Structure 1
Amino acid sequence: MTGLDPSSAEHGAPLLPPVDPSVLTVDVLADTGRRISVRAVDMGLRRWFWGEGVVLLGMVRMAEAAGDPLPPFVIDFVDEHVARGIEPDHVNSIIPGAACAWLYRETGDRRYADTCRQLLDWLAERTGPGPLEHWPGGVWADTAFMAGVFLVHCARALDRPELVAEAARQWLLHADVLGDPASGLFAHGSHRGETIWCFWGRANAWLALAGVEILEADPSLDHVRERLAVQLTALAATQPAHGVWDVLVDGHPETRGIVETSATAGIAAALFRAAALGISPDRLRSAGWRALGGLHPYVTEDGSVTRTSAGTVLQLIPFGYSVIRDDRVQPWGQGLGLLAYAAALVTRSCRGSRSLR
């Protein structure tokens, strides 16, 4: 390979040593998840957007896994936006609606159902025979999660199973555009109809998590199961020994050693949940614990999930991913961290999830 620039990788921060997964007891997992949740609340999140939506979903799942009451932040956040009126302006504005669907199932309050229907109508106006575009001319992995997970939650809340089928259709359309037949990994996105083969970690987390959400709602969707199994097996094969994937998960020399915790958290959650669905359970569960053992040292005492990369637009070359800042606490890092600890807690305690499973 010529013309590479490994300078960012060569100056990457030293890796933190992983913990043995045996120390991640039920109590440790629950305490860490609670600290991540409190830190997310302290961020002062206000926008109805994708990072906030991932936090809301993570808080719901963490409360379910730990047997805790739902954090008041979730209800207050949703109620404030519902009262003001929600006007989505991008597909990333859809995912907070998953919390609306959950609240409708729990309370029966019609305001939440009405908001779900409003968001569904907005999404339907932008849905055609092909994959939903993130931007005109661009298909991104993010969309399979932001729209797909919302569809799954609305399907359950509104008793509309056809929405699960639509989420599965979108997931497979995205897999067709972004999936690499040689490696089984997924690219971040396409630009002007051309897939850019950079195997971004968070893209793989988004697609993996959307896949398990869909299969948890309808385990009979064999095409999703098969493609997801290939992806997760590939991720397990590329996982570094310390457990935390680089920002690009294929070990590209320009990003090697630049770890990315939010991707690792999302992938870990998907590994645990896929194993629970019977997909290579021993191998995927082992990879999940290795990922969480590597992730755990990056969670500070105040619950900050550190080394989470900033919001990342599609990069046209691998080097672009080596210079994305990762020195700030990000809502998606907190939310994906919550999803990881919740999935691990369910796995460790064998406790089912009443509302979400």
Structure 2
Amino acid sequence: MAGEDLTNARLAAPPRAPLPADGLTRDALLALGDRVTAGTWGMGLPDWFWGEGVCLLGLVRLAEARGERFPPPVLQWLAGQVARGIRVDHVNHLAPGTALAMVPVQSAEAQRVLKTLVTWLDRPGAVTRDRAGALEHWPGGVWADTVFMAGVFLGRAAVALGDPEPLRAFAEQLLRHADVLRDPVTGLYAHGSHRGEVIRCYWGRANAWAALAAVEFLELVAGPAAELAEGLDAEVDRVRRNLAAQLIALARRQPGHGVWSVLVDDHPEVAGLVETSAAAGIGAAMLRAGAVLPSLPVGVAEAGWLAVRGALAYVEPDGTLARTSAGTVLQLVPFGYSVIRDDRPQLWGQGLALHAIAAALRAADRGEHP
């Protein structure tokens, strides 16, 4: 197309080779999990915000996959934050509440905080919605991030509180966001909308957030939230169909080294600029999806293993995930995604790497291997 700027794409560093398929033994995954866990805590989790929320859930998922109890450091972190007082003024502040809702024994104070977080969404002026009811990241903008940061929290809070309404809200947000952001032809998700117009940039991490959120929802309604999901059959079916189409589309567009470019359709302005956190999140969703989508083609699980192998090849000796893009504001043109810095570790990269390791451990325990 006229006016394309290929400067940064031409300067892309060559991708790393994925980890060897026969090297992802259970022991190797456990050791990798220890290294990423240490690297995560070494970065510090200073705030009650979205990056911390992604890390906390990743740490919980890894402990579950290892057959261990709820991680004591996560319990301590949550207790300290609750004692200090929780500030909520954006949908991203709901993300750490997911881990709080998963604490096995809920104190009265934890239940109070969860109820406060749930009801905050309906407080006048707290958050804006589009005409169909999709929560907006900023006024006038629906972003895929929100179905993970707020949606997964709502699903887990429903279980913790024994209340079906947050689960219904989770289902609604998955479908309302899909109505706005999902491409009806490919099934891929755009990053977001601006002033009511969808910007058709199929950002990798947006697809990770959307896929992981859908998997979390389907796991909930098939398990701990089954009794709360009465009357949601139609919504569950739509989430299943959307997720299957998205994962198949992503598998078809996966490069041979496993890690998608920052825009997963390989737009020329970003082609070759890999983004590891998206691959970790998408890979985790692909490996987990088989349990909730039994008819999913086998190629999706194969793509999931390749994505996990490709992403985890970027785990550095200090346990941090390299080539994770920084917090990314919605870009109005594809070239904007080529200039987002990826030269330092990010909390969401750590969290998504932990999700990937946990998903790989569970898949291996089911007898599935790359």
Q: TM-score, normalised by structure 1?
A: 0.95
1:75 maps to 2:75: yes
Q: What secondary structure sits across from 1:80 in the alignment? A: helix
Q: Which amino acid aligns with 1:231?
A: Q
1:246 maps to 2:261: yes
1:107 maps to 2:105: yes
1:172-222 deviation per Cα after TM superposition (whole angstroms, max 9, x unaligned):
100010011122111000000000000000000000011011111124510
Q: Return the offset for 1:281.
A: 5.1
For structure 2, the 5+ residue unaligned runs are 223-232
Q: Which amino acid aligns with 1:110?
A: A
The answer on whether the counterparts of 2:312 and 2:353 sit within 8 Å (CA) in structure 1 is no
In 1, the alpha carbon distance for the partners of 2:39 and 2:71 equals 12
Q: Return the offset for 1:349.
A: 1.0
1:170 maps to 2:191: no
Q: Which amino acid aligns with 1:319?
A: F
The answer on whether the counterparts of 2:280 and 2:312 sit within 8 Å (CA) in structure 1 is no
RMSD: 1.4
Q: What secondary structure sits across from 2:290 in the alignment? A: helix
In 2, the alpha carbon distance for the partners of 1:273 and 1:261 equals 18
2:229 matched to which residue of 1? none
Mean CA deviation greater in 132-141 or 1-10: 1-10
2:227 matched to which residue of 1? none
Q: Return the offset for 1:279.
A: 4.6
Determine what percentage of the aligned residue pairs are the same residue.
55
Q: Which one of the candidate residues 339, 342, 345 is aligned to 1:326?
A: 342
Q: Which amino acid aligns with 1:82?
A: V
1:179-218 to 2 correspondences below 5 Å: 179-218=182-221
In 1, the alpha carbon distance for the partners of 2:277 and 2:157 equals 25
Q: What secondary structure sits across from 1:147 in the alignment? A: helix
In 1, the alpha carbon distance for the partners of 2:168 and 2:300 equals 26
Q: Return the offset for 1:9.
A: 0.8
In 1, the alpha carbon distance for the partners of 2:213 and 2:321 equals 22
Q: Return the offset for 1:160.
A: 1.6
1:280 matched to which residue of 2? 296
1:29 matched to which residue of 2? 29
Q: Return the offset for 1:300.
A: 1.4
1:125-144 to 2 correspondences below 5 Å: 125=123, 126=127, 130-144=133-147
Q: Which amino acid aligns with 1:123?
A: L
Q: Which amino acid aligns with 1:148?
A: G
Q: What secondary structure sits across from 2:268 in the alignment? A: coil
In 1, the alpha carbon distance for the partners of 2:71 and 2:322 equals 22
Q: 4+ runs of 1 displaced by more than 4 Å?
A: none
2:249 matched to which residue of 1? 234
Mean CA deviation greater in 286-295 or 315-324: 286-295
Q: TM-score, normalised by structure 2?
A: 0.92
Q: What secondary structure sits across from 1:190 in the alignment? A: strand
2:225 matched to which residue of 1? none
In 1, the alpha carbon distance for the partners of 2:7 and 2:179 equals 33
Q: Which amino acid aligns with 2:208?
A: A
1:39 matched to which residue of 2? 39
1:342 maps to 2:345: no
Q: Return the offset for 1:296.
A: 2.2
1:306 maps to 2:309: no
In 1, the alpha carbon distance for the partners of 2:51 and 2:275 equals 16
Distance 1:283 1:343, change over 3 A: same
Q: What secondary structure sits across from 1:124 in the alignment? A: coil
For structure 1, the 5+ residue unaligned runs are 352-357
1:241-292 deviation per Cα after TM superposition (whole angstroms, max 9, x unaligned):
1101110000111111110000001101110111121251522211111111
The answer on whether the counterparts of 2:128 and 2:138 sit within 8 Å (CA) in structure 1 is no
The answer on whether the counterparts of 2:118 and 2:166 sit within 8 Å (CA) in structure 1 is no
Q: Return the offset for 1:329.
A: 0.6
Q: Which amino acid aligns with 1:63?
A: A
Q: Return the offset for 1:21.
A: 2.0
In 2, the alpha carbon distance for the partners of 1:136 and 1:18 equals 40
In 2, the alpha carbon distance for the partners of 1:102 and 1:333 equals 21
The answer on whether the counterparts of 2:128 and 2:139 sit within 8 Å (CA) in structure 1 is no
The answer on whether the counterparts of 1:187 and 1:203 sit within 8 Å (CA) in structure 2 is yes
In 2, the alpha carbon distance for the partners of 1:47 and 1:13 equals 33
Distance 1:247 1:332, change over 3 A: same
Q: What secondary structure sits across from 2:193 in the alignment? A: strand
1:41-80 deviation per Cα after TM superposition (whole angstroms, max 9, x unaligned):
0112110000000000000000110123443321121111
2:60 matched to which residue of 1? 60
Q: Return the offset for 1:40.
A: 0.6
